Homo-oligomer: A and B are copies of this chain.
Amino acid sequence: MNKPVSMLREFERRDAAEIGRDLHGFAASLYPICRSITGSGIRQTLAMIQDRIPLRIHEVATGTPVFDWRVPKEWNIRDAYMKAPCGGRVVDFQQCNLHVMHYSIPVHATLPLNEIRPHLFTIPDHPDWIPYRTAYYKEDWGFCLTHNQMLELEDGDYEVCIDSTLEDGHLTYGECYLAGRSSDEVLISCHACHPSLANDNLSGLAVATFLAEHFTLRDLRNSYRFLFIPGTIGAITWLAQNRETIGRVRHGLVLTCIGDAGGFHYKKSRRGNAEIDRAVACALRDCGESSEMLDFSPYGYDERQYCSPGFNLPVGCLMRSVWGTFPEYHTSADNLDFIHPEQLARSLRLCVSVFDVLEDNRSYLNQNPCCEPQLGKRNLYRSTGGDSIDDEIHARLWVLNLSDGEHSLLDIAERSGLPFATIHDAAELLCENGLLEEIAVRASTL
């Protein structure tokens, strides 16, 4: 049989535990890199993604106007430390790249502790964790350290050194485009601008990379565009550079915080009932994990830009734990132990099932609309009457009943409560038996 197999079915043939280990391993290989919104860290990250999928790297020069913004200076850092009066490094960038406030301007001076204090960031409630702080759009410098570290600092003069450069250069992002049979695009976007933070950034990068890898070998109906970009300014830059073709984006998903132990959260697009919103809702309903749908709000990840009123793209955001709601968020505790192989694998699987909906959602016309067709004579019904029927037969009845030109398979999956895959299988089988005909244009995307 030559019919296309759902990506999910194909995916499920593989060993989930192995996929999970690979995802976690890939995240682990990216973990030590000191990423920021520009600079060598993100370049290095994109190069490692490029080892796995066809990735086009874009470099956009500092100062380029992008809507209300300009591409910022490029920031690079070699070293940073605070040296105690007695001479040892008490805060050391070499030990953890969170120790420096990102985008700190270069500084090298010896200062009394009380003059340094306004530049120090800690988390008193979690005295062993280092916070993550940035100063992208204000020239400033700072160190992030554990609260316990700070408590141990004795008065005196400290050598503070941030060996960084903040100069004209480029903003770098990666783009992987997989052409499908239609020019309709599905946008998958994740930020690649956070340093050693695992759930917030690496989980999304790993899942998106593996998803693209899974898709490269497949016959796709939609075209897929994966963006690996610095948060906010990267999305703004990409949107500014692709204004003419943005209209091709029919569905989109921002992926982030998708590897922790929590259940799924999906933040709906600004439209609230776009096909992507419904596809995710349906996939979550069927996935067997706990999940929650959240309404759109204008704060969050890059859906903020995609859903700005000038674009209003149908882009939602898929997460496990929601950024800002778990204490490890934006701290050194968001490390490789905070993300789990099996959770990453399940997130990847969920994404595959979402895109299966987008690939397979169609509308059909029942060719025998008056009364049920006689399924029994086509071996599509049970043979002995009187007993109950199973989901496969239920699905056939649902598809026949609602294939009136006004319902897509997604509509039917929603209304019947049956898994989308079961509904899709029923439609395929009924088509093969001449009981359904596909309608050229998808009802639900008009």
Interface residues in chain A, defined as those with a beta carbon under 8 Å from any beta carbon in chain B: 66-69, 101, 121, 131-138, 140, 142, 232, 235-236, 239-240, 243, 270, 295, 297-299, 304-305, 307-312, 324, 330, 366, 368-374, 376-377, 383-389, 394, 397-398, 400-404, 415-416
A379, chain B: closest CB distance, angstroms = 10
Q: Which of B142, B324, B371, B386 contacts A330 (CB 8 A)?
A: B386
Q: How far is the CB of A45 from chain B (nearest CB, A)?
A: 19
Chain B minimum-CB-distance residue to A405: B309
**Which of B68, B298, B401 contacts A270 (CB under 8 A)?**
B401
Q: Which of A298, A330, A394 has the most CB of B within 10 A?
A: A298
How far apart are the CA atoms of A235 and B371 in the complex, in Å? 9
Contact A386 B134, CB 8 Å, known A374-B68, A398-B297:
yes
Q: Are B398 and A137 in contact (CB under 8 A)?
A: no
Say whether, besides A298-B400, A394-B299, A397-B299, A68 and B386 are in contact (CB < 8 Å): no
Listed A/B pairs (11) with beta-carbon separation below 8 Å: A68-B373, A133-B386, A137-B376, A138-B376, A138-B383, A138-B384, A235-B371, A308-B369, A308-B371, A309-B403, A310-B370
Report A117 CB to chain B, min CB distance, Å.
15
Determine if B397 and A304 form an interchain contact, defined as CB atoms under 8 angstroms apart.
yes
Which B residue sits closest to A232, measured CB to CB? B372
Interchain CB contact under 8 A, B68 and A239:
no
Main secondary structure on A side of the interface with B:
loop
Most buried by B among A69, A372, A415: A372
| Contact B137–A372 (Cβ < 8 Å) | no
Decide: A309 and B401 in contact? CB cutoff 8 A.
yes
Expressed in whole angstroms, the Cα–Cα distance for A388 and B370 within the complex equals 55
Q: CB distance B308 to A137 under 8 Å?
A: no
Q: Using A298-B397, A398-B297 as known contacts, say yes or no to A371 and B68 having CB atoms under 8 A apart.
A: yes
With the chains together, A310 CA to B397 CA distance in Å?
14
Could you tell me if A402 and B134 are in contact, using CB atoms closer than 8 angstroms? Answer: no
Q: Do residues B401 and A370 form an inter-chain contact, with CB atoms below 8 A?
A: no
**Which B residue sits closest to A237, measured CB to CB?**
B371
6 closest A-B pairs by beta carbon, nearest first, are A310-B369, A310-B370, A134-B385, A298-B401, A309-B404, A298-B397
Chain B residues whose C-beta falls within 8 Å of the C-beta of A101 in the assembled complex: 384
- Judge whether B138 and A311 touch: CB under 8 Å: no
A69 pairs with B137, CB closer than 8 A: no
On whether A372 and B305 interact (CB within 8 A), knowing A134-B386, A270-B401, the answer reads yes
Instruction: Tell me, in angstroms, the Cα distance from A302 to B109 when the chains sit together.
Output: 77
Select from chain B the residue with minimum beta-carbon distance to A373: B68
Partner of A368, one of B68, B388, B416: B68
Contacts of A67 in B (CB 8 A): 368, 370-371, 373
Q: Is the CB of A388 within 8 A of B309?
A: no
Do A298 and B398 touch across chains, with their CB atoms under 8 A apart? yes
CB distance from A297 to the nearest CB of B (A): 7
Given A299-B389, A311-B370, answer yes or no on A135-B305 (Cβ-Cβ < 8 Å): no
Would A386 and B299 count as touching, CB distance under 8 A?
Answer: no
Structural contact, B370 and A308, CB atoms closer than 8 A: yes
Asked if B371 and A307 make an inter-chain contact with CB atoms under 8 angstroms apart, the answer reads: no
Please measure, in the bound complex, the distance between the C-alpha atom of A402 and the C-alpha atom of B403, giving whole angstroms: 36
The answer to whether A384 and B133 have CB atoms under 8 Å apart is yes
Give the CA-CA distance A401 to B377 in the complex, in Å: 57
Distance, CA A308 to CA B367, complexed state (A): 12
- Known interface pairs A68-B371, A69-B374; 10 further A-B residue pairs with C-beta atoms within 8 A, sorted by A's residue number: A68-B373, A68-B374, A134-B386, A236-B371, A239-B370, A298-B397, A307-B401, A309-B402, A324-B388, A330-B387
Given contacts A298-B401, A299-B394, A324-B388, is CB(A372)–CB(B135) below 8 Å?
no
* B308 pairs with A386, CB closer than 8 A: no
Cα A310 to Cα B368 with chains together (Å): 8
Q: How far is the CA of A121 from the CA of B415 in the complex (A)?
A: 35
Q: Which residues of chain B are near A330, meaning CB under 8 Å? A: 386-387
Shortest C-beta distance, A120 to chain B (Å), equals 12
